[in-house]
Copies of this chain bind each other. A is one copy, B any other.
Amino acid sequence: MTCPVPAPSTDTIVMAHGGGGRMTAELLSSVFLPAFANDVLLAMEDQATVDVEGGRVAITTDAFVVRPIFFPGGDIGKLAVAGTVNDLVAGGARPLFLTAAFVLEEGLAIEKLRRVVTSMQRTCDEAGVILVAGDTKVVDRGKGDEIYVTTTGVGVVPPARAGLSCGAARAGDVVLVSGMLGDHGIAVLSTREGLEVDTALESDCAPLGGLVETLLGANLAVRCMRDPTRGGLASALHEIAGRSGIGVVLDEEAIPVRPAVRAVCEVLGLDPLYVANEGKLAVIVAAEDAPAALAAIRSHPLGRDAAIVGRVTEEHPRIVRLRTRVGGERVVPLLAGEQLPRIC
């Protein structure tokens, strides 16, 4: 179901380097990690947690270059805040502070910037974080694309949650997702390409702090959480499989995908497993606690469509497999790049 990915050149940057897939990993391992190697960065969580005066502080940063900057269900500002908050909460941190740095293209209408900034603040309020520092730069017309924004989030991880880690999944655990997959990517793509989608498809873009507190408040054996953004559920599970040294088997029939998203994916040859989500959580939980975890997630408005979609196995370490609707099984590979460029 996935498009063939052409073999990319390796001495210049190509779009796939920003795609969250294999080429991003290559760039990270061949350029960034050798240069910046330190224990905190090498832990490779989505957020950095560092000891500051006895507490455990979590830090994460993300650049947002989504095109177009306004799309059904959100905009680059809401996306930036939600995306950064979600990196924190997926690691168990309570988000506290946010910074934002803008690269604006000369000629951008102030009114557009105002809408984006207002939307950011609304999302900050919703997420319970405050924006504490910012910066603005302007680049020449044709050297940017309206607005790029980089948000950095700082939070605190309560001691009881320090064990949450992408390296903590064990054979026998269960994989849950908090709702329908692929809404964000397909909503942005449909807007960008002017596709006629019969239903009002919207990005799922939302901060997930409330959902996470509800889940963790149930005191279950949650091993790890991940927000499956760039690269979708497949890439998030690849990371967990690699870090934990386990395999994952997904059940295609159980994976919740909206009919409209499935239809667009089928027409364009996309696989919803790789499409970005911006308001969803993938959760690995001990098998005995899976029903209670599912109930906890479903009790939250953002988790109503949650489902158990797979399980962790020791049989094929570091490999994600999919049991298809027709009863077969196939490998879910790690893509070289993002199917959809500039989706976040």
Shortest CB distance A75–B (Å)? 13
Question: Which of B52, B120, B138 sits near A55, CB closer than 8 Å?
Answer: B52
How many residues on A have C-beta within 8 angstroms of the other chain's C-beta atoms?
80
- Contacts A12-B107, A14-B107, A15-B138 known; list 11 others, CB within 8 Å: A12-B106, A12-B108, A15-B140, A18-B104, A32-B134, A41-B133, A41-B134, A57-B57, A61-B134, A63-B103, A99-B152
Q: Does A102 belong to the interface (CB within 8 Å)?
A: yes
Q: Which residues of B contact A64 (CB under 8 A)?
A: 137
Shortest CB distance A116–B (Å)? 9
Given contacts A61-B100, A62-B135, contact A13 B52 (CB under 8 A): no
Bound Cα distance A7, B341 (Å): 38
Bound Cα distance A117, B113 (Å): 31
Bound Cα distance A144, B18 (Å): 13
Whether B65 and A103, one on each chain, are in contact in the complex, defined by CB atoms closer than 8 angstroms, is yes
Bound Cα distance A140, B17 (Å): 12
Nearest B residue (CB) for A10: B110
Shortest CB distance A135–B (Å)? 5
Q: Does A325 belong to the interface (CB within 8 Å)?
A: no
Q: Does A60 belong to the interface (CB within 8 Å)?
A: yes
Q: Does A59 belong to the interface (CB within 8 Å)?
A: yes
Q: Does A306 belong to the interface (CB within 8 Å)?
A: no
Whether A110 and B12, one on each chain, are in contact in the complex, defined by CB atoms closer than 8 angstroms, is yes
8 Å CB contacts to B: which residues of A30-71?
A: 30-32, 35-36, 38, 40-41, 47-48, 50, 52-55, 57, 59-65
Q: Which residues of B contact A121 (CB under 8 A)?
A: 35-36
1/0 contact string of A299-343 vs chain B (CB within 8 Å)? 000000000000000000000000000000000000000000110
Whether B132 and A48, one on each chain, are in contact in the complex, defined by CB atoms closer than 8 angstroms, is yes
Q: Does A96 belong to the interface (CB within 8 Å)?
A: yes
Whether B131 and A139, one on each chain, are in contact in the complex, defined by CB atoms closer than 8 angstroms, is no
Whether B106 and A14, one on each chain, are in contact in the complex, defined by CB atoms closer than 8 angstroms, is yes
> What are 7 residue pairs bridging A and B, where the CB atoms are less than 8 Å apart in the complex?
A15-B106, A38-B131, A41-B130, A59-B132, A59-B133, A61-B152, A103-B148
Question: Which of B41, B63, B105, B117 sits near A36, CB closer than 8 Å?
Answer: B117
Whether B136 and A24, one on each chain, are in contact in the complex, defined by CB atoms closer than 8 angstroms, is yes
Given contacts A31-B114, A138-B17, A150-B61, contact A132 B12 (CB under 8 A): no
